[in-house]
């Protein structure tokens, strides 16, 4: 059997008719950028998250850097972020000229809230919380610290569509929630797409103006903005997928409950779920000191795996200028050396699940 770490085509075939119908509808409409599909998606996604406002954007990275731009965070400012994240989180900060200040993760792979305060300086302006792999972060202490120190909170929800902390949806705790709809995300488009959600009407309006060359009214430009518009085709296809989120979530939850119950190996650590947090399983991430051996063994059985992520941002070439050497974030670095994501996708069959479980358990 051949099992890829992710299969996006299966997610398409689950609702093929609806996707094809919507695509044809948009193609035949004659309106392709910022139209009815986008505004309907914005309304529906705001309602889904429980936010007052949503603004569609071209990508998750755009959502992040535009969020900090609108909050006025730039050169000389510091933003606290966890060390173990996808590098886009950090670029969202540094594109604006602000500096990332890294905090180590906890055992749930999210920001260790007990280590935030020691990183706060007079330059700290915001905390960027990343709900990594699909599990909601420990938001109660994060919000308390932010309030105490007068900091903004931005949430990177690129991996957490639908995940909750104490019943509240990720993306709605801070000032701005940033989402990516990159095809592999839990709510995925068929190309690039992103959005911000917020309860603040002023922020929502500023983002809508900024994404369209800083223009409210055609050819009247209020600020120097950018082009980060969501197109009608992606918005329409996202609406189809959004209407099935409950089933899609339940499908992944079923697979991961099996993994949690049936995977059993002395050298492999399974993911844990924080009390009060929900996990929407963007990835199923295990940890082992014998990672390369396990990768090669599974590869030999036709099972693909991915490392999320092999090089933490502070050790990447791109952020060499921060001057942080190996050993500066030991927990983050240890995770980078030992994490492994095993196959997980909507539409994964029972036989495929059986095969992965049996293979991992018989690793010697
Ligand atoms: C995917 C991702 C992003 C970036 O989203 P794009 O739409 O690819 O720009 C940002 N942060 C995290 C945590 C992600 O997983």
In this prediction, residue 174 has a pLDDT band, given cuts at 50, 70 and 90, of very high
**Can you give the pLDDT at residue 324?**
97
**Can you give the pLDDT at residue 27?**
98
In this prediction, residue 37 has a pLDDT band, given cuts at 50, 70 and 90, of very high
Segment 223-242 shows an average pLDDT of 97
Cα 274 off chain centre by: 18
Q: Is the CB of 59 under 6 A from ligand 1?
A: yes
Q: How far apart are CA 269 and CA 305, in angstroms?
A: 16
Burial class (CB in 10 A: 0-12, 13-18, 19+), 8: middle
The best mutation among 133, 182, 185, 341 to test binding of ligand 1, ranked by most ligand atoms within 8 Å of the C-beta, falls on 182
Check residue 230 and report its DSSP letter: P
**Can you give the pLDDT at residue 301?**
98
| Three-class HEC string of 266-317 | CCCECCCCCCCECECCCCEEEECCCHHHHHHHHHHCCECCECCCCCCHHHCH
Q: Is the CB of 234 under 6 A from ligand 1?
A: no
**Can you give the pLDDT at residue 38?**
98
* Ligand 1 center to 91 CA (angstroms): 10
Count the neighbouring beta carbons within 10 Å of the beta carbon of residue 288.
19
Q: Is the CB of 129 under 6 A from ligand 1?
A: no
Which has the closest alpha carbon to 208: 49, 38, 30, 89? 38
Closest residue by Cα to atom 5, ligand 1, is 60
Check residue 263 and report its DSSP letter: -
Check residue 71 and report its DSSP letter: T
In this prediction, residue 217 has a pLDDT band, given cuts at 50, 70 and 90, of confident
Q: How far apart are CA 284 and CA 271, in angstroms?
A: 7
Q: Is the CB of 130 under 6 A from ligand 1?
A: yes
Evaluated on CA atoms 7, 13, 15, 18, the torsion sign reads positive
Q: At residue 216, does pLDDT exceed 90?
A: no
51-108 pLDDT tens trace = 999 999 999 999 999 999 999 999 999 999 999 999 999 999 999 999 999 999 999 9
**Can you give the pLDDT at residue 258?**
98
Closest residue by Cα to atom 10, ligand 1, is 88
Task: From residue 72, give the alpha-carbon distance in Å to each of 67, 93, 179.
Answer: 9, 11, 20
277-329 pLDDT tens trace = 999 999 999 999 999 999 999 999 999 999 999 999 999 999 999 999 999 99
* Ligand 1 center to 151 CA (angstroms): 23
Check residue 212 and report its DSSP letter: B
Q: At residue 218, does pLDDT exceed 90?
A: no
Q: What is the mean pLDDT of the chain?
A: 97
């Amino acid at each position: 059997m051949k099992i890829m770490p992710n299969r996006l085509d299966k997610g398409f075939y689950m609702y093929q008719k609806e996707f094809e119908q919507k695509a044809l509808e948009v193609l035949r409409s004659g309106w392709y950028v910022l139209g009815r599909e986008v505004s309907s998606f914005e309304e529906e996604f705001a309602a889904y998250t429980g936010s007052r406002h949503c603004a569609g954007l071209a990508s998750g990275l755009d959502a992040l850097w535009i969020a900090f731009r609108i909050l006025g965070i730039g050169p000389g400012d510091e933003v606290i972020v966890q060390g173990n994240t996808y590098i886009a989180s950090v670029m969202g900060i540094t594109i604006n000229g602000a500096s990332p200040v890294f905090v180590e993760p906890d055992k749930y792979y999210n920001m260790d809230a007990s280590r935030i305060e020691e990183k706060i300086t007079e330059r700290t302006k915001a905390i960027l919380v990343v709900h990594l792999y699909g599990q909601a972060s420990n938001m109660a202490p994060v919000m308390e610290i932010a309030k105490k120190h007068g900091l903004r909170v931005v949430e990177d929800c690129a991996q957490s569509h639908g995940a909750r902390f104490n019943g509240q949806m990720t993306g709605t705790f801070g000032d701005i929630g940033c989402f990516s709809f990159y095809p592999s995300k839990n709510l995925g488009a068929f190309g690039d797409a992103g959005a911000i959600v917020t309860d603040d009407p002023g922020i929502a309006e500023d983002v809508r103006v900024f994404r369209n060359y800083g223009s409210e009214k055609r050819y009247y430009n209020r600020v120097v903005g950018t082009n980060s518009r969501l197109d009608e085709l992606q918005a329409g296809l996202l609406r189809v997928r959004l209407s099935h989120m409950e089933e899609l979530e339940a499908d992944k939850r079923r697979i991961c409950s099996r993994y949690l119950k049936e995977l059993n190996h002395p050298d492999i650590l399974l993911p844990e779920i924080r009390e009060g947090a929900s996990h929407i399983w963007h990835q199923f991430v295990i940890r082992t000191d014998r990672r390369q051996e396990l990768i090669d063994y599974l590869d030999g059985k036709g099972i693909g795996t991915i490392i999320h992520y092999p090089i933490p941002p502070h050790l990447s070439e791109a952020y060499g200028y921060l001057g942080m050497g190996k050993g500066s974030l030991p927990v983050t670095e240890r995770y980078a050396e030992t994490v492994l994501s095993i196959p997980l996708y909507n539409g994964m069959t029972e036989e495929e699940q059986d095969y992965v479980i049996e293979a991992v358990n018989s690793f010697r």
